[in-house]
Structure 1
Amino acid sequence: MQETEPRLHAWRIEEREYRRQEQRRGRRFAYSHLTPARTALVVIDMVPFFVDANPHARGIVPHIQQLADRLRAAGGTVAWVLPARTARTPVGDEFHGPEAAETFRNAGGTGPLPGRLWPGLATRPGDIFVEKSGPSAFFPGRCSLPDILEEHHIDTVLVTGTVTQVCCESSARDASTLGYRVVMVADANATGRDQDHNATLATIYRSFGDVRPTAEVLDLIDAVP
Protein backbone atom coordinates (compact mmCIF):
# COMPACT_ATOMS: atom_id res chain seq x y z
CA MET A 1 0.00 0.00 0.00
CA GLN A 2 1.31 3.44 -0.94
CA GLU A 3 1.64 5.54 2.20
CA THR A 4 2.42 8.96 0.71
CA GLU A 5 1.39 10.95 -2.32
CA PRO A 6 3.72 11.29 -5.32
CA ARG A 7 6.17 14.14 -4.96
CA LEU A 8 9.20 15.64 -6.67
CA HIS A 9 12.67 16.22 -5.31
CA ALA A 10 13.70 19.72 -4.27
CA TRP A 11 16.54 19.60 -6.75
CA ARG A 12 19.28 22.18 -7.15
CA ILE A 13 22.68 22.86 -8.64
CA GLU A 14 24.77 25.26 -6.58
CA GLU A 15 25.37 28.63 -8.16
CA ARG A 16 29.13 28.17 -7.82
CA GLU A 17 28.91 25.13 -10.10
CA TYR A 18 27.06 27.16 -12.71
CA ARG A 19 29.69 29.91 -12.45
CA ARG A 20 32.53 27.40 -12.79
CA GLN A 21 31.16 26.05 -16.05
CA GLU A 22 30.37 29.52 -17.35
CA GLN A 23 33.97 30.52 -16.73
CA ARG A 24 35.29 27.40 -18.45
CA ARG A 25 33.18 27.34 -21.60
CA GLY A 26 31.45 30.71 -21.70
CA ARG A 27 27.94 29.36 -21.15
CA ARG A 28 25.96 27.61 -18.46
CA PHE A 29 24.98 24.52 -20.44
CA ALA A 30 27.14 22.48 -22.77
CA TYR A 31 24.30 21.51 -25.09
CA SER A 32 22.20 24.45 -26.17
CA HIS A 33 20.33 22.47 -28.83
CA LEU A 34 19.45 18.92 -29.77
CA THR A 35 18.28 17.19 -32.91
CA PRO A 36 15.20 15.13 -32.01
CA ALA A 37 15.89 12.50 -34.68
CA ARG A 38 19.29 11.87 -33.07
CA THR A 39 18.02 11.96 -29.49
CA ALA A 40 16.88 9.10 -27.26
CA LEU A 41 14.93 9.31 -24.03
CA VAL A 42 16.43 6.57 -21.85
CA VAL A 43 14.08 5.50 -19.04
CA ILE A 44 15.82 3.44 -16.37
CA ASP A 45 14.16 0.82 -14.12
CA MET A 46 10.64 2.25 -13.91
CA VAL A 47 9.24 -1.06 -12.67
CA PRO A 48 6.85 -1.73 -9.75
CA PHE A 49 9.64 -2.90 -7.46
CA PHE A 50 11.21 0.57 -7.49
CA VAL A 51 8.22 2.80 -8.23
CA ASP A 52 5.51 1.47 -5.90
CA ALA A 53 7.48 2.11 -2.72
CA ASN A 54 8.96 5.49 -3.67
CA PRO A 55 6.78 8.61 -3.84
CA HIS A 56 9.55 10.44 -5.71
CA ALA A 57 9.55 7.74 -8.40
CA ARG A 58 5.79 8.04 -8.75
CA GLY A 59 6.18 11.80 -8.88
CA ILE A 60 8.37 11.73 -12.00
CA VAL A 61 5.95 9.59 -14.03
CA PRO A 62 4.13 12.55 -15.63
CA HIS A 63 7.43 14.17 -16.61
CA ILE A 64 8.73 10.98 -18.21
CA GLN A 65 5.46 10.60 -20.09
CA GLN A 66 5.61 14.20 -21.34
CA LEU A 67 9.15 13.73 -22.55
CA ALA A 68 8.35 10.43 -24.25
CA ASP A 69 5.28 11.76 -26.03
CA ARG A 70 6.94 14.98 -27.17
CA LEU A 71 10.17 13.34 -28.34
CA ARG A 72 8.32 10.65 -30.29
CA ALA A 73 6.19 13.30 -31.99
CA ALA A 74 9.36 15.14 -33.00
CA GLY A 75 10.91 12.01 -34.54
CA GLY A 76 13.05 10.90 -31.60
CA THR A 77 13.52 7.56 -29.88
CA VAL A 78 12.18 6.28 -26.56
CA ALA A 79 14.08 3.45 -24.85
CA TRP A 80 12.69 1.64 -21.82
CA VAL A 81 15.43 -0.13 -19.85
CA LEU A 82 14.48 -2.81 -17.35
CA PRO A 83 16.48 -4.93 -14.91
CA ALA A 84 17.27 -8.41 -16.19
CA ARG A 85 16.84 -11.44 -13.97
CA THR A 86 20.47 -12.23 -13.27
CA ALA A 87 22.15 -15.39 -12.04
CA ARG A 88 22.74 -15.73 -8.35
CA THR A 89 26.42 -15.31 -7.47
CA PRO A 90 28.55 -15.80 -4.37
CA VAL A 91 29.71 -12.18 -4.59
CA GLY A 92 26.13 -10.93 -4.72
CA ASP A 93 25.18 -13.02 -1.72
CA GLU A 94 28.25 -11.84 0.17
CA PHE A 95 27.67 -8.17 -0.60
CA HIS A 96 23.89 -7.87 -0.18
CA GLY A 97 23.17 -10.86 1.99
CA PRO A 98 21.41 -13.89 0.45
CA GLU A 99 17.84 -12.71 1.03
CA ALA A 100 18.36 -9.20 -0.34
CA ALA A 101 20.44 -10.52 -3.24
CA GLU A 102 17.58 -12.81 -4.25
CA THR A 103 15.14 -9.91 -4.05
CA PHE A 104 17.28 -7.60 -6.16
CA ARG A 105 17.97 -10.12 -8.88
CA ASN A 106 14.22 -10.55 -9.37
CA ALA A 107 13.41 -6.83 -9.19
CA GLY A 108 12.60 -6.49 -12.88
CA GLY A 109 9.84 -9.07 -12.86
CA THR A 110 9.13 -11.70 -15.50
CA GLY A 111 7.27 -11.91 -18.76
CA PRO A 112 7.27 -9.65 -21.84
CA LEU A 113 9.20 -6.44 -21.24
CA PRO A 114 6.38 -3.93 -21.91
CA GLY A 115 4.26 -5.64 -19.28
CA ARG A 116 6.97 -5.24 -16.66
CA LEU A 117 6.89 -1.45 -16.68
CA TRP A 118 5.06 0.44 -13.97
CA PRO A 119 1.46 0.49 -15.26
CA GLY A 120 1.14 4.27 -15.15
CA LEU A 121 3.48 4.66 -18.13
CA ALA A 122 2.17 4.48 -21.71
CA THR A 123 4.38 3.02 -24.41
CA ARG A 124 3.95 3.09 -28.17
CA PRO A 125 4.85 0.85 -31.13
CA GLY A 126 8.39 1.63 -32.19
CA ASP A 127 9.68 2.16 -28.66
CA ILE A 128 12.82 0.24 -27.69
CA PHE A 129 12.68 -2.29 -24.85
CA VAL A 130 15.90 -3.73 -23.44
CA GLU A 131 17.15 -5.45 -20.32
CA LYS A 132 20.36 -4.66 -18.49
CA SER A 133 22.23 -7.12 -16.31
CA GLY A 134 24.20 -4.48 -14.40
CA PRO A 135 23.55 -1.02 -12.98
CA SER A 136 24.42 0.79 -16.22
CA ALA A 137 22.50 0.60 -19.49
CA PHE A 138 25.72 1.58 -21.31
CA PHE A 139 28.29 -0.75 -19.74
CA PRO A 140 29.77 -3.02 -22.45
CA GLY A 141 28.31 -6.49 -22.45
CA ARG A 142 25.57 -5.72 -19.93
CA CYS A 143 22.93 -4.20 -22.21
CA SER A 144 22.21 -4.06 -25.93
CA LEU A 145 21.13 -0.42 -25.80
CA PRO A 146 24.34 1.18 -27.15
CA ASP A 147 24.28 -1.03 -30.25
CA ILE A 148 20.62 -0.24 -30.88
CA LEU A 149 21.16 3.49 -30.43
CA GLU A 150 24.07 3.35 -32.86
CA GLU A 151 21.75 1.80 -35.44
CA HIS A 152 19.38 4.73 -34.88
CA HIS A 153 22.25 7.25 -35.28
CA ILE A 154 21.64 8.62 -31.78
CA ASP A 155 24.15 11.14 -30.43
CA THR A 156 22.19 12.58 -27.47
CA VAL A 157 20.63 10.74 -24.52
CA LEU A 158 18.15 12.13 -22.00
CA VAL A 159 18.59 10.10 -18.82
CA THR A 160 15.52 9.55 -16.61
CA GLY A 161 14.24 6.99 -14.13
CA THR A 162 15.29 5.47 -10.83
CA VAL A 163 17.39 5.18 -8.74
CA THR A 164 19.18 8.50 -9.33
CA GLN A 165 22.52 7.76 -7.69
CA VAL A 166 22.73 4.10 -8.71
CA CYS A 167 21.54 2.96 -12.13
CA CYS A 168 20.75 6.42 -13.51
CA GLU A 169 24.11 7.88 -12.53
CA SER A 170 25.94 4.76 -13.71
CA SER A 171 24.19 4.98 -17.07
CA ALA A 172 24.89 8.70 -17.46
CA ARG A 173 28.59 8.25 -16.67
CA ASP A 174 29.04 5.36 -19.08
CA ALA A 175 27.05 7.10 -21.83
CA SER A 176 29.39 10.07 -21.52
CA THR A 177 32.41 7.76 -21.67
CA LEU A 178 31.04 6.28 -24.90
CA GLY A 179 30.81 9.76 -26.42
CA TYR A 180 27.12 10.59 -26.11
CA ARG A 181 25.86 14.08 -25.34
CA VAL A 182 24.26 13.40 -21.96
CA VAL A 183 21.42 15.36 -20.38
CA MET A 184 20.21 14.17 -16.99
CA VAL A 185 16.66 15.41 -16.49
CA ALA A 186 16.65 16.82 -12.97
CA ASP A 187 12.95 16.35 -12.22
CA ALA A 188 12.56 13.07 -14.09
CA ASN A 189 14.99 11.04 -11.96
CA ALA A 190 14.19 9.82 -8.47
CA THR A 191 15.64 8.30 -5.34
CA GLY A 192 14.77 8.30 -1.66
CA ARG A 193 16.29 11.57 -0.41
CA ASP A 194 16.89 15.01 -1.88
CA GLN A 195 20.51 15.10 -0.72
CA ASP A 196 21.38 11.89 -2.56
CA HIS A 197 19.57 13.08 -5.69
CA ASN A 198 21.33 16.44 -5.66
CA ALA A 199 24.77 14.94 -5.07
CA THR A 200 24.37 12.98 -8.30
CA LEU A 201 23.11 16.01 -10.21
CA ALA A 202 26.19 17.96 -9.11
CA THR A 203 28.51 15.16 -10.21
CA ILE A 204 26.88 14.80 -13.61
CA TYR A 205 26.79 18.54 -14.24
CA ARG A 206 30.41 19.00 -13.21
CA SER A 207 31.92 16.14 -15.21
CA PHE A 208 29.59 14.13 -17.46
CA GLY A 209 26.71 16.09 -18.95
CA ASP A 210 24.08 18.75 -18.59
CA VAL A 211 21.37 18.80 -15.93
CA ARG A 212 18.10 20.39 -17.06
CA PRO A 213 14.47 20.26 -15.83
CA THR A 214 11.72 18.73 -17.94
CA ALA A 215 10.34 22.09 -19.08
CA GLU A 216 13.70 23.14 -20.52
CA VAL A 217 14.23 19.81 -22.25
CA LEU A 218 10.78 20.08 -23.83
CA ASP A 219 11.78 23.52 -25.12
CA LEU A 220 14.91 22.02 -26.66
CA ILE A 221 12.83 19.32 -28.35
CA ASP A 222 10.42 21.92 -29.72
CA ALA A 223 13.05 24.46 -30.81
CA VAL A 224 13.31 25.13 -34.53
CA PRO A 225 16.93 24.65 -35.68
Structure 2
Amino acid sequence: MNRETRTALLVIDAQESFRQRPDDWARMANPFVFDNIARLVAHARSAGQLVVWVTHAEPGTGGVFDPELGFVRVVAELDPLDSELRVTKTSVNAFTTTNLHQQLVQHDVRRVVICGIRTEQCCETTARVASDLGFEVEFVTDATTTSDIEPGPGYAGVSADDLISRTASILGSREFASIVTTEQLVHPTEQLTASAAR
Protein backbone atom coordinates (compact mmCIF):
# COMPACT_ATOMS: atom_id res chain seq x y z
CA MET A 1 0.00 0.00 0.00
CA ASN A 2 1.50 3.36 -0.95
CA ARG A 3 1.89 6.35 1.33
CA GLU A 4 -1.07 8.29 -0.04
CA THR A 5 -3.57 5.49 0.63
CA ARG A 6 -2.42 5.41 4.25
CA THR A 7 -3.31 9.07 4.81
CA ALA A 8 -6.53 10.39 6.34
CA LEU A 9 -7.77 13.97 6.13
CA LEU A 10 -9.56 14.83 9.38
CA VAL A 11 -12.00 17.70 8.92
CA ILE A 12 -12.75 18.83 12.46
CA ASP A 13 -16.05 20.52 13.37
CA ALA A 14 -16.61 22.34 10.07
CA GLN A 15 -20.24 22.42 11.05
CA GLU A 16 -23.25 24.68 10.92
CA SER A 17 -23.34 25.10 14.71
CA PHE A 18 -20.70 27.85 14.63
CA ARG A 19 -22.61 29.99 12.14
CA GLN A 20 -25.60 29.93 14.46
CA ARG A 21 -23.62 32.28 16.72
CA PRO A 22 -23.41 35.27 14.34
CA ASP A 23 -21.42 37.56 16.64
CA ASP A 24 -18.81 34.87 17.31
CA TRP A 25 -18.69 33.77 13.67
CA ALA A 26 -18.11 37.36 12.54
CA ARG A 27 -14.95 37.47 14.69
CA MET A 28 -13.49 34.29 13.18
CA ALA A 29 -10.08 34.68 11.59
CA ASN A 30 -9.30 33.28 8.13
CA PRO A 31 -12.45 33.96 6.09
CA PHE A 32 -11.21 31.52 3.43
CA VAL A 33 -11.20 28.54 5.76
CA PHE A 34 -13.95 26.62 3.94
CA ASP A 35 -12.32 27.31 0.57
CA ASN A 36 -9.05 25.85 1.84
CA ILE A 37 -10.77 22.87 3.44
CA ALA A 38 -12.59 22.22 0.16
CA ARG A 39 -9.24 22.21 -1.68
CA LEU A 40 -7.83 19.72 0.83
CA VAL A 41 -10.88 17.49 0.46
CA ALA A 42 -10.66 17.54 -3.34
CA HIS A 43 -6.96 16.70 -3.15
CA ALA A 44 -7.52 13.88 -0.65
CA ARG A 45 -10.23 12.36 -2.83
CA SER A 46 -8.11 12.52 -5.98
CA ALA A 47 -5.19 10.90 -4.11
CA GLY A 48 -7.36 8.08 -2.78
CA GLN A 49 -6.98 9.21 0.81
CA LEU A 50 -9.53 8.62 3.54
CA VAL A 51 -11.69 11.68 4.28
CA VAL A 52 -13.11 11.79 7.80
CA TRP A 53 -15.79 14.29 8.80
CA VAL A 54 -15.77 14.98 12.54
CA THR A 55 -18.61 16.89 14.19
CA HIS A 56 -19.09 17.96 17.79
CA ALA A 57 -22.29 17.34 19.74
CA GLU A 58 -23.53 18.35 23.17
CA PRO A 59 -26.75 16.36 23.58
CA GLY A 60 -29.42 17.69 25.89
CA THR A 61 -27.92 21.18 26.24
CA GLY A 62 -30.44 23.00 24.07
CA GLY A 63 -27.62 24.97 22.45
CA VAL A 64 -26.29 25.09 18.90
CA PHE A 65 -24.32 21.87 19.48
CA ASP A 66 -27.40 19.94 20.60
CA PRO A 67 -28.24 17.50 17.78
CA GLU A 68 -31.94 18.08 18.40
CA LEU A 69 -31.65 21.57 16.88
CA GLY A 70 -30.28 20.23 13.60
CA PHE A 71 -27.06 22.25 13.38
CA VAL A 72 -24.65 19.39 14.12
CA ARG A 73 -23.96 18.84 10.43
CA VAL A 74 -21.10 19.64 8.09
CA VAL A 75 -21.61 22.98 6.30
CA ALA A 76 -23.41 22.38 3.02
CA GLU A 77 -20.72 23.91 0.81
CA LEU A 78 -18.22 21.19 1.76
CA ASP A 79 -20.61 18.50 0.48
CA PRO A 80 -19.45 15.28 2.21
CA LEU A 81 -19.92 12.07 0.25
CA ASP A 82 -22.12 9.36 1.71
CA SER A 83 -19.23 6.91 1.36
CA GLU A 84 -16.90 8.99 3.53
CA LEU A 85 -16.36 8.26 7.20
CA ARG A 86 -18.20 10.39 9.77
CA VAL A 87 -17.80 10.47 13.53
CA THR A 88 -19.48 12.63 16.14
CA LYS A 89 -17.56 13.46 19.29
CA THR A 90 -18.60 14.81 22.66
CA SER A 91 -15.03 15.50 23.83
CA VAL A 92 -12.68 18.24 22.66
CA ASN A 93 -10.42 15.85 20.72
CA ALA A 94 -11.74 13.56 17.99
CA PHE A 95 -10.54 10.30 19.58
CA THR A 96 -11.64 10.00 23.22
CA THR A 97 -15.40 9.63 22.68
CA THR A 98 -15.40 8.03 19.22
CA ASN A 99 -14.06 4.94 17.49
CA LEU A 100 -11.86 7.08 15.22
CA HIS A 101 -8.63 5.41 16.31
CA GLN A 102 -9.98 1.94 15.51
CA GLN A 103 -11.31 3.14 12.16
CA LEU A 104 -7.94 4.61 11.18
CA VAL A 105 -6.11 1.45 12.21
CA GLN A 106 -8.54 -0.67 10.19
CA HIS A 107 -7.77 1.48 7.13
CA ASP A 108 -4.02 1.15 7.79
CA VAL A 109 -3.69 4.91 8.21
CA ARG A 110 -0.29 6.09 9.41
CA ARG A 111 -0.55 9.82 8.63
CA VAL A 112 -3.32 12.28 9.47
CA VAL A 113 -3.86 15.75 8.04
CA ILE A 114 -5.82 18.06 10.32
CA CYS A 115 -7.98 21.08 9.46
CA GLY A 116 -11.19 22.65 10.76
CA ILE A 117 -12.56 24.68 13.68
CA ARG A 118 -11.23 25.78 16.27
CA THR A 119 -7.49 26.01 15.72
CA GLU A 120 -6.33 25.99 19.34
CA GLN A 121 -9.11 23.85 20.73
CA CYS A 122 -10.50 20.81 18.90
CA CYS A 123 -7.95 20.89 16.07
CA GLU A 124 -4.89 21.28 18.29
CA THR A 125 -6.10 18.74 20.85
CA THR A 126 -6.81 16.19 18.14
CA ALA A 127 -3.31 16.75 16.74
CA ARG A 128 -1.72 16.16 20.15
CA VAL A 129 -3.68 12.97 20.78
CA ALA A 130 -2.98 11.70 17.25
CA SER A 131 0.72 12.26 17.83
CA ASP A 132 0.58 10.40 21.15
CA LEU A 133 -1.17 7.51 19.38
CA GLY A 134 1.75 7.25 16.97
CA PHE A 135 0.36 8.91 13.86
CA GLU A 136 2.42 11.22 11.70
CA VAL A 137 0.53 14.53 11.93
CA GLU A 138 0.33 17.41 9.49
CA PHE A 139 -1.51 20.49 10.73
CA VAL A 140 -2.83 22.78 7.99
CA THR A 141 -2.91 26.11 9.78
CA ASP A 142 -4.52 28.14 6.98
CA ALA A 143 -7.34 25.57 6.78
CA THR A 144 -8.27 26.18 10.43
CA THR A 145 -9.97 29.12 12.09
CA THR A 146 -10.87 30.43 15.51
CA SER A 147 -12.08 33.61 17.20
CA ASP A 148 -10.60 35.95 19.79
CA ILE A 149 -10.36 34.96 23.43
CA GLU A 150 -11.64 37.77 25.62
CA PRO A 151 -9.81 38.48 28.91
CA GLY A 152 -11.11 36.60 31.92
CA PRO A 153 -10.25 35.88 35.56
CA GLY A 154 -6.57 34.96 35.65
CA TYR A 155 -5.93 35.07 31.91
CA ALA A 156 -5.34 37.67 29.22
CA GLY A 157 -7.20 38.08 25.97
CA VAL A 158 -5.64 36.71 22.79
CA SER A 159 -6.53 37.65 19.22
CA ALA A 160 -7.60 34.95 16.79
CA ASP A 161 -4.58 35.58 14.59
CA ASP A 162 -2.26 35.22 17.58
CA LEU A 163 -3.99 31.99 18.60
CA ILE A 164 -3.43 30.50 15.16
CA SER A 165 0.21 31.59 15.16
CA ARG A 166 0.86 30.34 18.69
CA THR A 167 -0.80 27.00 17.98
CA ALA A 168 1.44 26.49 14.96
CA SER A 169 4.51 27.40 17.02
CA ILE A 170 3.64 25.04 19.87
CA LEU A 171 2.68 22.07 17.71
CA GLY A 172 5.62 22.53 15.36
CA SER A 173 8.36 23.32 17.85
CA ARG A 174 7.31 20.57 20.26
CA GLU A 175 7.12 18.05 17.39
CA PHE A 176 3.46 17.20 17.80
CA ALA A 177 2.94 17.99 14.11
CA SER A 178 4.47 19.30 10.93
CA ILE A 179 2.99 22.71 10.12
CA VAL A 180 1.96 23.05 6.50
CA THR A 181 -0.20 25.25 4.28
CA THR A 182 -3.00 24.19 1.98
CA GLU A 183 -0.84 25.05 -1.03
CA GLN A 184 2.04 22.90 0.22
CA LEU A 185 -0.24 19.89 0.48
CA VAL A 186 -2.20 20.40 -2.71
CA HIS A 187 0.82 21.25 -4.90
CA PRO A 188 3.86 19.74 -3.12
CA THR A 189 5.97 19.45 -6.29
CA GLU A 190 5.54 23.14 -7.11
CA GLN A 191 6.52 24.06 -3.56
CA LEU A 192 9.70 21.97 -3.78
CA THR A 193 10.58 23.51 -7.16
CA ALA A 194 10.06 27.04 -5.83
CA SER A 195 12.24 26.31 -2.79
CA ALA A 196 15.03 24.88 -4.94
CA ALA A 197 14.98 27.94 -7.17
CA ARG A 198 15.67 30.31 -4.28
Residue 109 of structure 1 is matched in structure 2 by 67
One of 144, 161, 165 as aligned partner of 1:198: 165
Is 1:71–1:221's contact at 8 Å kept on the other side of the alignment? no
SS in 1 for 2:67: coil
SS in 2 for 1:117: coil
Residue 132 of structure 1 is matched in structure 2 by 89
Is 2:59–2:67's contact at 8 Å kept on the other side of the alignment? no
Give the CA deviation at 1:86.
3.8
Matched, 1:118 2:75: yes
Distance 1:111 1:74 in 2: 35
SS in 1 for 2:78: coil
Distance 2:190 2:80 in 1: 21
Residue 79 of structure 1 is matched in structure 2 by 52
Per-residue CA deviations over 1:41-98 (Å, capped at 9, x if unaligned) read 101111122246244365211111111111111110100000123466xxxxxxxxxx
1:169-184 equivalences in 2 (<5 Å): 169-184=124-139
Distance 1:222 1:36 in 2: 18
1:9-88 equivalences in 2 (<5 Å): 35-51=3-19, 53-54=25-26, 55-56=28-29, 58-86=31-59
Give the CA deviation at 1:110.
4.1
Give the CA deviation at 1:157.
0.5
Residue 151 of structure 1 is matched in structure 2 by 106
SS in 2 for 1:186: strand
Q: Higher relative contact order at CA 8 Å, sep ≥6: structure 1 or structure 2? A: 1
Which sections of structure 2, spanning at least 5 residues, go unmatched?
A: 148-159, 192-198
User: How much identity, in percent, do the aligned residues show?
Assistant: 27
Distance 2:6 2:188 in 1: 13
Give the CA deviation at 1:119.
1.6
TM-score, scaled to structure 2 = 0.78
Report the RMSD for the aligned CA atoms in angstroms: 2.6
Distance 2:136 2:185 in 1: 13
Per-residue CA deviations over 1:101-142 (Å, capped at 9, x if unaligned) read x53xx51634899x8111221212321110111000123xx1
Is 1:51–1:118's contact at 8 Å kept on the other side of the alignment? no
Residue 166 of structure 1 is matched in structure 2 by 121
* Aligned positions, number: 172
SS in 2 for 1:56: coil
Is 2:113–2:137's contact at 8 Å kept on the other side of the alignment? yes
